[in-house]
Chains A and B, each alone.
Chain A
Amino acid sequence: MLEIRWHSRAGQGAVTGAKGLADVISTTGKQVQAFAFYGSAKRGAAMTAYNRVDDKVIMNHEKYMEPDYVFVIDPALVFTSDVTVNHKENTKYIITTHMSTDELVKVQPKLVGKEIYTVDCITIANETIGRPIPNTPMLGAFMKISGMYDIEFFKESMKRVLGKLPQKIIDANMFAIQRAYDEVK
């Protein structure tokens, strides 16, 4: 069982990202689950989304999760939310920030001793897609860190997931995924 928790703001596309990831993984024969905590969330409110991946049908519907990966797709949430809650010893973090990993750990002591990777998904999204929607770049970074799939296979799969969008937007998302893949450290 692979478990992922997303920290996001409502409107940044964490749910779409989680479902998109689940969709891609599902095509490889794995069982997937993607869900979120909404409450009566307003655009901009902090929220979490979740992925579970397994070889057998996922029957666990508890919301409690000790994640293998934590994705933080908004730079402020690493300070305003506890992104380390329910962590495991080997939980990996991919965090959106303009800072380097060392700089980030210095200003957020909770991250000391943890496996942290950083990538500026917001800037990447702004410069490629033209809007601060950091969900697809995060998935590009995840492909690099996890080595889950070949990046070309992943991009092809995401093209299908994003199928209904205009070609220009799809192309921009592909650039964003590739940039995050290349830039995550």
Chain B
Amino acid sequence: MAFDKMELKDVEVWDGNYAAAQALRQAQVDVVAAYPITPSTPIVEGYAKFTADGYVEGEFVMVESEHAAMSACIGAAAAGGRVATATSSQGYALMVETLYQASGMRLPIVLNVVNRALAAPLNVNGDHSDMYLGRDSGWIQLDAFSPQEAYDLNLIAFKVCEDHEIRLPCMVHQDGFMTSHTAQGVNTLSDDAAYGFVGEYKPMNDMLDFEHPVTHGVQTEEDWHFEHKARQHNDLMTKVIPKIQAAFNDFEKLSGRKYNIVERYDMDDADVCVVCMGTSVETAREVALEMRAKGIKAGVVGLRVIRPFPFFEIAEALRGVKSIAVLDRSSPNGAAGMLFNEIAGALYNADTKALLSGYIYGLGGRDLTKKHLVDLFNELQANADAGKVTTKLQQFIGVRGPKLAYL
């Protein structure tokens, strides 16, 4: 192989961005086409440097916009390469049109989305507004809560999405700054072990196979479009979660690190629980343990897989809980939060009688403090004790001014 291997310590102190860049290197990605944007820039910068320094046999393509970045990734993936890129916020928004192209063409691209707020007002910090934009785009969406997970989930993403039974692109989300620029200990895999796990890229319907010429990106009108979309939805609904679970199992055998479709923490006997995504899951876990010391049976549920939405796994995870808070880190702008709605949908026909309330928090990187979460768990316990939601269904955490509550 025409590239150098890198000696890594068992534990490296990496931020989420560098962890993701290292995973792209270890997966030996053939093409990264990118238009760098804060806070995701160091991922593609890292890949470009690894390539320039001879650690990857691949190509970094600098393009003129995020729309072009994903377009070039689509071309490279259709040609038959292992492809990845990264973006955030406004760049992700510009990419949305091409996201649907990538998934509809069944091209297994890995997109690192370093979650950031959407303007206006302009803001470079982390919230989940951009992540929510892509939820109907037909991609698989995995969510990392820490730099370690950003590293692991990138490797897992390639393995899942490139599988010939899947062939769907996959996003790996991490929180802007709170994960992407926060250095923590990351347990590494050796280059050989990581590449062995991801496996050699196996092309499918690649345009560089001159013995089997194909036309990609065809037009279908009313007579065929629906069937294609139905097929894509079917594969997302039936094939992806078992494949992710299998990859999680393999990864645990390799690394000892266990991932689940829905992460449950202290849920076995929980009366009250918080459902959330990103770094908030870990902070909430820490607070839940502290609440237990105070006699409140608190638990936390974190979404590891956002799409396909783990409908049954969520209902199972929340079985027996008395009072649930769903946290959305994106302004729903005139509705209940997306996650609130999804959870409500998953529970409606389940036999749980849990009390459900929603909270909007952390927009534009606004800190979610442990104090906030202590108050939240206490409020949930009050709901459980009263046997009804004692507040409005939708409240805001950590915003200035008079209390905001709706519904």
Contact = CB atoms under 8 A, between A and B. Distances in A.
Nearest to A29: B11
Contact of B177 (A38, A58, A59): A38
A60 B285 CA distance: 8
A119 to B, nearest CB: 25
A61 B177 contact: no
A35 B369 contact: no
B13 A61 contact: no
A159 to B, nearest CB: 15
A64 interface: yes
Given A59-B285, A61-B283, A64-B369, A35 B11 contact: no
A60 B124 contact: no
A22 interface: yes
Given A31-B185, A38-B181, A62 B124 contact: no
Given A26-B13, A34-B13, A38-B124, A59 B282 contact: yes
Contacts of A23: 13, 183
A76 B280 CA distance: 35
A40 interface: yes
Interface residues of A, number: 23
Contact of A64 (B125, B285, B367): B367
A13 B395 CA distance: 40
Interface residues of B, number: 28
Given A22-B13, A26-B11, A35-B178, A61 B282 contact: yes
Contact of B184 (A38, A58, A63): A58
Contacts of B184: 22, 31-34, 58
B296 interface: no
Nearest to B265: A59
Interface in B165-183: 175, 177-179, 181-183
Contacts of B285: 59
A36 interface: yes
A35 B13 CA distance: 12
A164 B146 CA distance: 26
Interface in A137-156: none
B177 A60 contact: no
Contacts of B182: 33-35, 61
A38 B146 CA distance: 19
Nearest to A23: B13
Given A23-B13, A59-B286, A60-B370, A33 B183 contact: yes
B13 A59 contact: no
B283 A35 contact: no
B181 A36 contact: yes
Contact of B368 (A27, A32, A58, A62): A62
Contact of A60 (B175, B179, B185, B282): B282
B28 interface: no
Given A19-B183, A32-B185, A34-B183, A62 B177 contact: no
B254 to A, nearest CB: 20
A109 interface: no
A19 B186 CA distance: 13
B160 to A, nearest CB: 25
B367 A35 contact: no
B188 interface: no
A39 interface: yes
Which of B15, B183, B369 gathers most chain A CB within 10 Å?
B183
Contacts of A18: 183
Contacts of A26: 11-13, 185
A62 B278 CA distance: 12
A64 B279 CA distance: 14
Contacts of B177: 35, 38
Interface string B177-219: 1110111110000000000000000000000000000000000
Given A59-B283, A62-B369, A39 B13 contact: no
Interface of B: 9, 11-13, 15, 124-125, 146, 175, 177-179, 181-185, 279-280, 282-283, 285-286, 367-371
10 contacts: A26-B11, A26-B12, A31-B185, A33-B183, A35-B181, A60-B283, A61-B178, A61-B182, A61-B282, A61-B368
